[in-house]
Structure 1
Amino acid sequence: MATHSALVDLASIPTVAQLYRTRKLLPAETIDPAFPPSQHLNDSVSVIRNDLTKLEVDCIVNAANKSLLGGGGVDGAIHRAAGPGLVKECSGLDGCDTGDAKITQAYNLPCKYVVHTVGPIYHSASRQDATRPEKLLRSCYRTSMELAMQHSLKTIAFPAISTGVYGYPSHLAARAVVHEVRQFLDSHVGQNNALQRVTFSNFEQKDMEAYAKAIAKYLPPTPEDLRIAGEDTT
């Protein structure tokens, strides 16, 4: 799953089910009964290693800072790709609190909207309350998905929020995030405005490895996924 410079349409982004079936994602040795396999979920979640700004989805999520006026990493890449219209619109939003999210147009990006969310700085938040970083990180994903649904968007792609310079350990972040997304999708099954695809778009290999382990735990393969992959399900 290498990075690419060309645009990537939704059909080219592999779902969890497809990754299991092609053995690019391996199941955990045991299935946690608290998280039974779900074909709906495995068809609704994707993971890819790619440039977030190249994905042709309804909206992408920006790992922004509190000013919303651009920065380094994913934030800088999104602002550069979107063009000056994005920072102009962001300048009128009065910033954003950690764990919250705001939405803008996408300008020159191939998506329709950008959701801006501010992740926790891991060590700073940890000193205040050991559970605070996870609560804030989960809120970033939950509020971003809620915003997407409010705007009738069906497909959303996330970067690995806070796992770069903000210092959140990739394995801890991935566990919290995949669990939060599973809960969110489960709670909106059957709703007319439900999300149809949530994509984790990682740039670093460490995040890909962390998400692979978290997905194996919280989104285990269905018997159909294993059967197509050539596994014995009897």
Structure 2
Amino acid sequence: MGTIECVQGDIAQQSDIDAVVNAANAELQSGGGVAGALHRAAGPGLAEECSPLAPIRPGQAVITSAHELPNRHVIHCLGPVYGVDEPADELLAACYRNALELAEREGIRSIAFPALSAGAFGYPPAEAARVALSTVLKTLPECPTIEQVRFVLFDTDSTELHQRTLESLQSGQE
């Protein structure tokens, strides 16, 4: 099974990763947070390539090339808006599962995720981390091509939360 790591950093600056995951909006256009950062770094070609793929539904994942980003691909996932899109836990898990399955089909060996739905979409951070990491741990054995999964978190608190959650899940304490 591939390795899973949690780091603090900028998802648009993961030059050693094949595919980065965009916390997309339904229209797959630039926005705030992760979507804005990736679209700014990728240049206008990303929005042009995304346009015919939109709209996407919560839990869905689609793939594009990475344009001016230092990666080969961007996988766009629409996470659930907490308290609106239900069942939120199943939709959030579907984002991670669908992104990994898409990466596997495309022969991608490394993938970087942000904390999907944990920002503007209001998902409680601890619950979002648990759903994300448990889904990745469950799905990764079915994706033998994927050697590395990296969670790229915005700040120290999120990074430490994800690391603690990962260690707890791996030791079976969850």
Q: TM-score, normalised by structure 1?
A: 0.70
Q: Does 1:65 align with 2:25?
A: yes
Indicate the residue corresponding to 1:8 in structure 2: none
Tell me, which stretches of 5 or more residues in structure 2 are unaligned?
Answer: none
1:195-218 Cα shifts (integer Å, max 9, x gaps): 100000000333213212211211
1:91 aligns with 2:51: yes
Instruction: Name the structure 1 match of 2:155.
Output: 204
Whole-Å Cα distance in 1 between the matches of residues 107 and 124 of structure 2?
33
SS of structure 1 residue aligned to 2:52: coil
Q: For the Cα contact (< 8 Å) 2:9–2:155, is it kept in 1?
A: no
- For residues 12 and 142 of structure 2, the distance between their equivalents in structure 1, rounded to whole angstroms, comes to 29
Unmatched runs of 5 consecutive residues or more in structure 1: 1-39, 222-234
1:174 pairs with 121, 129, 141, which one? 129
Contact 1:170 1:206 in 2 (8 A): no
Q: C-alpha separation between the residues in 1 aligned to 2:59 and 2:155?
A: 22
Q: 2:40 — aligned with what?
A: 80
Q: Distance in 1 between matches of 2:159 and 2:147?
A: 22
CA contact (8 A) 1:120 1:166 kept: yes
Query: Of residues 157, 162, 171 in structure 1, which corresponds to 2:112?
Result: 157
For 1:71 and 1:103, locate their aligned partners in 2 and report how far apart those are by CA, in whole Å.
18
Give RMSD over aligned pairs. 1.5
- Partner deviation per Cα, 1:150-209 (whole Å, 9 max, x = no partner): 111100000011111111011001111111111112334xx4xx2100000000333213
* Counterpart Cα distance in 2 of 1:169 and 1:207: 11
Aligned residues: 171
SS of aligned partner of 1:66: coil
Please state whether the residue corresponding to 2:84 is helix, strand or coil. Answer: helix
The SS at the match of 1:185 is: helix
Amino acid at match of 2:67: Y
1:106 corresponds, among 50, 56, 66, to: 66
Q: How does 1:23-42 map to 2 (within 5 A)?
A: 40=1
Q: Who wins on radius of gyration, i.e. which is larger?
A: 1
**Which stretches of structure 1, 4 residues or more, deviate above 6 A after TM superposition?**
none
